[in-house]
Structure 1
Amino acid sequence: MPDSVYKVIELVGTSTDSWEKAAANAVEQAAKSLRDLRIAEVVKLDMQLDDKGKVEAYRTKLN
């Protein structure tokens, strides 16, 4: 196998429904301006909360 170099970027996707949809949103948006996307690694999951502690959005950080 020949030597390879890869560029790794960080994305954060959001969704009001789920972490899975947040990840999909990030990848779909990135695919509009980046080419040859092959792998997305979930590195962190968190939630945005309102002032009463209710979940407003799910956030997924990807590399």
Structure 2
Amino acid sequence: MSEHVYKQIELTGSSPASSEDAVRVALEKASKTLRNIHWFQITDTRGLVEDGKVGHWQVTLKVGLRIED
């Protein structure tokens, strides 16, 4: 079994559609400039209320980047 080391960063994605879409947005955007994204953990979920309804979702993630050998 190989030994791995990870660096953690924090990202916040947003979407008017859903919290799941906010996660997708964050990971897709980050993967354009970061390599070896290996895992994520949702640490916070927030929303913007507009006229008594959910107008926007914000989801904060811890993301693990595997350090290359």
TM range (shorter): 0.7 to 0.9
Residue equivalent to 1:5: 5
2:14 and 2:7 mapped to 1: Cα distance? 23
1:25 and 1:56 mapped to 2: Cα distance? 16
Uncovered stretches (5+) of structure 1, i.e. residues with no partner: none
Residue equivalent to 1:37: 37
* Aligned-residue CA RMSD (Å): 1.5
The sequence identity of aligned pairs, in percent, is 35
Residue equivalent to 2:57: 58
TM-score, normalised by the number of residues in structure 1: 0.84
Moved over 4 A (4+): none
| Bigger strand fraction | 2
C-alpha offsets along residues 16-52 of structure 1, whole Å, 9 cap, x if unaligned? 01000000000000000000011011111110223x4
TM-score, normalised by the number of residues in structure 2: 0.78
1:21 and 1:2 mapped to 2: Cα distance? 33
What is the aligned residue count?
62
